[in-house]
Chains A and B, each alone.
Chain A
Amino acid sequence: MKIRIKLLAHYQQYLPPDCSSSSYEVEVPPDVRVEEVLAGLPVPSEESVVLVNGRTPQPGQTLREGDVLCLFPAIGGG
């Protein structure tokens, strides 16, 4: 199934070179867990805020077709 990976703030440096927006599509196995996808990303996810469709995922949460998995660095804003 396909999901989208969205990277914000300076994580946009990890976007694929041909990506013109903040997100890109990836193919993942059905019912993949959030943690499994994170492990395959070139982003320091332990220092990140992780959202699924804008919401806080539960531990062990699985993803569904079309979900948006968003990451940005944990840091205070303004």
Chain B
Amino acid sequence: MYGWNSRILRVNLTTGETRVEEVDPRVARDFIGGRGWAIRYLYDEMDPRVDPLAPENKLVFATGPLTATPVPTGNRYMVVTKSPLTGALSCSNSGGFFPTEMKRTGFDLFIFEGKAERPVYLWVNDDRVEIRPADHIWGRTVFETEDMLRAETDPRARVACIGPAGERRAPIAAIINEKHRAAARSGVGAVMGSKNLKAVVVRGTRRIPLAHPDELKALSDQVVEEVKQAVAAGKSTLRIYGTAYVPPVTNELGILPTYNFRTGVFAGAEAISGRALSQKYLIRAKACYGCPIACGRLTRVEDPIFGGEGEGPEYETIGALGSACGVDNLAAITKANYICNELGLDTISAGMTIACAMEMYELGLIPESDIGRPLRFGDAEAVVEMVRLAGLREGFGDLIAQGSYRLASHYGHPEFSMSAKKQEFPAYDPRGAKGMGLLYATSNIGASHMAGDTAYMEVFGVPKKVDPLSWEDKPRLVKYFEDIFTIVDAAGLCVFLSIRYLFEPTYNVEPVRISRLMEYATGAGYDEETLLKAGERVYNLERMFLVRAGFSRADDTLPPRMLYEPMPEGPAKGHVVELDRMLPEYYRLRGWDENGVPTAEKLAELGLL
């Protein structure tokens, strides 16, 4: 086969055995790759009711057919497993250089099973696979681990690892690659920690076989040229400011999470913007493999308290560790971001959980003696200290490390957790972007901006602007975006470039170019229709995993604040999320019954029966 390596590496950590398996060409085509292949294997092999931190849970690292090809942004991989944060599925996504290196070892997927008796790491050098002892790096930070493992394997190797947070099984622990890129969400780092797997180190030199390399190269070059022209013309916002350009935008719409989503308007929005970041701390823009955009930010903060150097912050990080906590100190936000990377924490869940704790502290629901200090909105030093404690699971940080739902429930008030399926909201208040509300509620991975981000249209006008405050048109939009994000993830691409350049040459959201690229890479018979159907197939199989795990309509919901407390001010003033009006229509469009379960007809149509 082409595009795919068509080989899977299965690693049994309990027995120490590794095995190479071929992939059935029909499964390969019908489930695309990456996230799609991962759910096919998990669904077939694993009881979705297992304890996520038990050896019976499986952990999948998955690249896609376009990863490590000439297609721009072909640099992503997905980590798919049962989530210890949500009890549902994790599909966490990261870019950088680890994913391409992994694909070039000649494997598309690594499937980890069981649990090692002692700490270990996996070293894959093309065909040579070793499970090596990791006692000497257990307890080390992400940064130390990366340096030590490259020194003892190959300086050209790429590393994905956990920090102390993952080792201590924090349900908001991330897996970090190249020190600063994170498969962040849903506690994937805790699953890795539960298996005593400290790191995965890869060095790959194989070329990816392509069905129609000349055509693939020509179309890829064309897309790269379009992006380069935009960059040269000074029109690439993401190059100029990174995603940090967003806070003033969402603030203008009144949906920038502020004070734990009490409001969507933040007086400090400009102080935490991309412009401020560029003026104060930016060293240079940084790109992932094969990306002409370069939205990454290499930064340095010179400050007696918040000094450091690293990458970030991204918009989501600024929203969570900044405005949601009432913090407009960009140095502190950046420092907290560095600490999250170093200790292996999801910045979104960490920040949003601290915001939740701040609100509950101010209301007198959390005693100061539990925290060991005051924890008021706007306290930048407190945010930095809480992040450090959470990464180490020390003191009050142990509760923060468990996410906002468990923290708020611990004090008897889960309603202060701004989460869906126990995963913290990203940085869009859904009362002012109704599609995001329906997305958070229904997503297979809990609240996420990476599961079908309708903010593209509701906020950013890509490919065209829709009114974020209307709800009537959103069920169709959410279904569509969930399916196309599934395609992008499964293919191994980044959504930033894909949604803008690969789904439309003329602002019609049809998967024109991505279906051609998929066909040029694989020769498997993809066109727009089969690719969209494959995206829908993967999404439905993920949903069936949730159904089998015990999820139903009752879980497709939002916190009471979103449903019953109107936004108090700003452009979205007076709005709530009309979830009960959108949900039935969404289920109908999905071909699911009134309890949110895919019907037999839908499963038969998708070949899933």
Of residues 47 through 78 on chain A, the ones whose CB sits less than 8 Å from some CB of chain B are 47-51, 53-56, 70, 72-78
Which of these binds chain A: B115-123, B382-390, B458-466? B458-466
Q: Could you mark each residue 2-26 of chain A with 1 if its beta carbon is under 8 Å from any beta carbon of chain B, else 0?
A: 0000101110110000000110000
A17 to B587 alpha-carbon distance, docked (Å): 52
In chain B, residues 493-526, which have Cβ atoms closer than 8 Å to a Cβ of chain A?
Answer: 495-496, 499-500
Which residues from chain B contact A72 at a C-beta distance below 8 Å?
237, 249, 252
Q: In the complex, what residue of chain B is closest to A55 when comparing beta carbons? A: B571
Tell which of A13, A22, A48 touches B234, judged by Cβ atoms closer than 8 Å: A13
Q: Does B270 contact A (CB under 8 A)?
A: yes
By beta carbon, the residue of chain B nearest A73 is B237
A residues less than 8 Å from B270 (CB atoms): 21-22
Which residues of A lie under 8 Å from residue B314 when comparing CB positions? 78
Q: Are B235 and A73 within 8 A (Cβ)?
A: yes
**Could you say which residues of chain A place their CB within 8 Å of the CB of B455?**
77
- A43 CB to closest chain B CB (Å) equals 11
What's the least CB distance linking A38 to chain B, in Å? 14
Chain B residues with CB below 8 A from A53, complex form = 571
Once bound together, how far apart are the Cα atoms of A71 and B461, in whole Å?
11
Stretch of B133-141, B185-193, B240-248 lying at the A interface: B240-248
In the bound complex, residues from chain A placing their C-beta under 8 Å from that of B238 are 75-76
How many angstroms between the C-alpha atoms of A1 and B369 in the bound complex? 57
- Docked complex Cα distance between A9 and B241 (Å): 8
CB distance from A76 to the nearest CB of B (A): 5
Instruction: From A13, A54, A75, give the contact of B252 (CB < 8 A).
Output: A54
Residues A78 and B252 in contact, CB atoms below 8 Å apart: no
How far does the Cβ of A1 sit from chain B's closest Cβ, in whole Å? 21
For A76, list chain B residues within 8 Å (CB): 238, 453, 456, 460, 462, 495-496, 499-500
Residues of A within 8 A of B315 (CB): 77-78
Task: Choose from B245, B461, B495, B570 the contact partner of A54 (Cβ within 8 Å).
Answer: B570
Whether, in the assembled complex, B344 has its beta carbon less than 8 Å from a beta carbon of chain A, the answer is no
Contact A77–B248 (Cβ < 8 Å): no
Kindly identify, within residues 444 to 477 of chain B, every residue whose CB is under 8 Å from any CB belonging to chain A: 449, 453, 455-456, 459-462, 465-469
Closest to B426 in A: A78
**A78–B570 alpha-carbon span in the complex (Å):** 22
Residues 409 to 432 of chain B near chain A (Cβ within 8 Å): none
Contact between B254 and A8, CB atoms less than 8 A apart: no
Contact count band on A: 20 to 34
**Interface: B159 (CB within 8 A):** no
- Output the residue of B238, B295, B495, B572 with the most chain A CB within 10 A: B238
For A52, the closest partner residue in chain B by CB is: B571
Contact B275 A12 (CB under 8 A): yes
Let me know if B246 and A78 touch, CB within 8 A.
yes
Judge whether B167 is part of the interface by a CB distance below 8 angstroms: no
- Please name all residues of chain B whose beta carbon is closer than 8 Å to the beta carbon of A78 when the two chains form the complex: 243, 246, 295, 314-316, 449, 496
Asked if A9 and B234 sit within 8 Å, CB to CB, the answer is no
A9 to B270, CA, bound (A): 11
B96 within 8 A of partner (CB):
no
A77–B234 touching, CB < 8 Å: no
Question: Which A residues lie within 8 Å of B570 (CB)?
Answer: 54
Let me know if B237 and A9 touch, CB within 8 A: yes
Residues A8 and B571 in contact, CB atoms below 8 Å apart: no
Q: Which residues of B contact A48 (CB under 8 A)?
A: 461
Chain B residue nearest to A47 in the complex (CB):
B235
Q: Is B184 an interface position by the 8 A CB rule?
A: no
Q: Which residue of A is nearest B274, CB measured?
A: A9
Beyond A77-B246, A78-B243, whether A49 also contacts B460 by CB under 8 A is yes
Contact B460 A74 (CB under 8 A): yes
- Residues of chain B within 8 A of A74, CB atoms compared: 460-462, 465
A71 to chain B, nearest CB (A): 10
Measured CB to CB, the closest approach of chain A to B483, in angstroms, equals: 17
Instruction: Report whether A10 and B246 are in contact in the complex, using a CB–CB cutoff of 8 Å.
Output: no
Q: Does A49 contact B465, Cβ atoms closer than 8 Å?
A: yes
Which of A6, A44, A55 is the most central at the interface, judged by chain B CB atoms within 10 Å of its CB? Answer: A55
- Beyond A53-B571, A75-B462, A78-B246, is A8–B468 a contact (Cβ under 8 Å)? no
* 27 chain-A/chain-B pairs, Cβ below 8 angstroms: A6-B252, A8-B252, A9-B241, A9-B245, A10-B234, A10-B235, A10-B237, A10-B240, A22-B248, A22-B270, A44-B235, A49-B459, A54-B254, A70-B252, A72-B252, A74-B460, A74-B462, A75-B236, A75-B238, A75-B460, A75-B500, A76-B238, A77-B243, A77-B459, A78-B315, A78-B449, A78-B496
In the A-B complex, the 3 residue pairs with the closest CB atoms: A54-B571, A78-B243, A74-B461
Other CB < 8 Å A-B pairs besides A56-B466, A77-B456, 10 of them? A9-B245, A51-B252, A54-B254, A75-B236, A76-B453, A76-B462, A77-B315, A78-B246, A78-B314, A78-B316
